[in-house]
Amino acid sequence: MERNSTRVVNGLIRRVIADRDLYRQAARGVREPGLKTILEESAASLTAIATDLQDEVSSAGVRPATAGGPMSGVRRTMMEASVKLSHDPDVTYIRTLEQMERRLLDAFLRLEASSGDRAMVGRHIARLRLLHLDMTNLGSAAGR
């Protein structure tokens, strides 16, 4: 992995960690026990992705990111404000996470298309697609 590539991957790690933290926050805030379980499992999947990416960066001799990016606090505050204004907090969590997951998947797809580290990034895309599909399906079901 090139030095420039490790900067990009560290950015992804920060994003994955920030998103994982939002999943954990949502899991603490939802009322539906089944949804709480899904969110906790999704957070665990994001932890596994972050850990794998951190290992890749470490193996290149670079210190990997270990925390969310500078905007993670803002995103957390915005999600909580939306939930407080919502008539159905569970649906608001789902919709917020669905949008967030789409952006994370898009970031991985862009990196896969432009990176020499396609294999490293590509192996996480299937997992991210499943996470996004879960949130999309939950969002569709909640919209009924």
Summarize pLDDT for 19-54 with one digit per residue, the tens.
999 999 999 999 999 999 999 999 999 999 999 999
Give every CB contact of residue 105 below 8 A, 6+ residues apart in sequence: 125, 128, 129, 131, 132
Least confident range from 9-13, 47-51, 59-63, 119-123: namely 119-123
10 Å CB burial of residue 18 (0-12, 13-18, 19+) is: buried
Domains and CATH numbers, the chain: 3-142 (1.20.1260.10)
Amino acid occupying residue 65 = A
Q: What is the pLDDT of residue 114?
A: 76
Record the pTM: 0.88
Rounded to 5 degrees, φ, ψ at 12 are -65, -40
- Quick one: angle between helices 3-29 and 33-59, nearest 10? 160
pLDDT range class, residue 6, cuts 50, 70, 90: confident
Q: What is the mean pLDDT of the chain?
A: 88
